[in-house]
Amino acid sequence: MPSLKNAGLRQIKMKQLLTIFFFFFVAVADAQTEEEKLITTLKEFHQALVNKNTFYINQQTDKALSYGHSNGWVENKTDIIKDLETGVIVYHGFKEDSISVLINGTMANVRFVAQIAVTMKDFTNTYHLKVLEVWKKKTNRWVLFARQAVKN
């Protein structure tokens, strides 16, 4: 017949094992959540471009932002906001596909294929692009640090 002492030790070991499993599960779930959080932020940022939500764009971009277009045009943070407000560029739709995320500490690169409907200087077109965005973690949120697109 097993002693009470052995039964108590088994319970302690089982609790320790469950605690280790719980912390492992939380760590894995947190890593998945961070990637999902970044993808959500990315999609919200693109929708903010369509909606001309310059307040959100200001909050979600780094002060040193470099925003490269497929035609070689590069905007900084001030340019993006000004060009949206003045109608130099008007985004009508933004669809992302084949999103891949690589997070390394406080930096992440996100690659995706995009269909972007846009009007620029009275010319409307839908562009099929391959895009790389670099996001930087600030406190508990991701901000866009750099972006470059090429024609697909």
Mean pLDDT on 100-114: 97
pLDDT band at 26 (very low <50, low <70, confident <90, very high): low
pLDDT at 140: 87
If one compares 88 and 13, the residue with the highest pLDDT of the two is 88
- Max CA separation in the chain (angstroms): 88
Q: Is 60 exceeded by the pLDDT of residue 122?
A: yes
pLDDT at 75: 96
Contact by Cβ (8 Å): 148, 131: yes
Predicted TM-score (pTM) of the model is 0.77
pLDDT at 11: 74
* DSSP codes, 118-149: EEETTEEEEEEEEEEEEEEEETTEEEEEEEEE
- Domains of the chain by start residue, with CATH: 4-151 (3.10.450.50)
Contact by Cβ (8 Å): 44, 145: no
pLDDT at 95: 95
**Distance set, CA 7 to CA 11, 12, 73 (Å):** 6, 9, 71
Give the rounded percent of residues in the chain with a pLDDT score beyond 90: 75
